[in-house]
Amino acid sequence: MVGGVGSGISGEKEIYNTFYVRFLSARPIRAAYARVQQIQSGYDKMNAEQKRLLDQAQQPKLNLDVEDWIVVCVGFRSNNPNEESSVRRFFMNETTTTLKSRAFLSTPDFPQVEILAYFPPVEDSVGAKFVFPRELDGRPVVLGKGERVTFELLDVPGALPRLRAEFPVQYMLRDGTLVM
């Protein structure tokens, strides 16, 4: 989460602008999104058949084939409607082509990995999706050895001049295996 706080008009309230950057290719993140959908749907009060149908609808999201890709999702929230609208328009108008020179994943071995694909946000509360290769030149982009993975997006409203989120790889390991 990357955020900023300022004051509103005449200082009457705090303005918040928060970007949420997550690795959607990590199964634990997808499972968390599925649980949020369960909670929002009243899962605990559903009968067995309703639960089965909701679980069945979530399986494709949980079982995404991400063997070849790293998927980063970016969401944004603000209590300033103008800022929220500006960022939403930005994400809706961008394409893979327009983001090729502005969206990167970086590791010590690969300082600027370009995106392969971009998907604007839809009504799934996940946000915009940035797809990067898992390997370059036959080598893994992320090794899982005490490094950091950095996501950068240039010229984003609300985060000028850039949105930058760093992730220590040590927190992406589960039983010694990289889960991103």
The CA distance from 176 to 174, in Å, is 5
Give yes or no: residues 50 and 110 share one domain: no
Give yes or no: residues 20 and 53 share one domain: no
Of the spans 34-38, 122-126, 139-143, which averages the highest pLDDT?
139-143
- Taking 70 as the threshold, does the pLDDT of residue 12 lie above it? no
Residue 28 has what DSSP assignment?
Answer: H
User: How does pLDDT run across 43-68, given as a tens digit for each residue?
Assistant: 788 888 888 887 777 776 656 666 78
Specify the CATH number for the domain of residue 106: 2.60.40
The CA distance from 68 to 65, in Å, is 8
The CA distance from 37 to 78, in Å, is 22
Region of 5 on the Ramachandran plot (φ > 0 left; ψ -120 to 50 alpha; else beta): beta
Domain that residue 46 falls in: 31-63
Give yes or no: residues 72 and 48 share one domain: no
More confident residue, 26 or 7: 26
Give yes or no: residues 157 and 74 share one domain: yes
Give yes or no: residues 111 and 169 share one domain: yes
| pLDDT band with cut points at 50, 70 and 90 for residue 126 | confident
Give yes or no: residues 75 and 139 share one domain: yes
Helix (H, G, I), strand (E, B) or coil at 135: strand
Both tokens of 81, joined, read: 């409607």
In this structure, of 4-13, 74-83, 106-115, 161-170, the range with the lowest mean pLDDT score is 4-13
Give yes or no: residues 131 and 57 share one domain: no
Give yes or no: residues 94 and 54 share one domain: no
Both tokens of 56, joined, read: 């069945």
Q: Give the predicted TM-score (pTM) of the model.
A: 0.78
Give yes or no: residues 48 and 8 share one domain: no
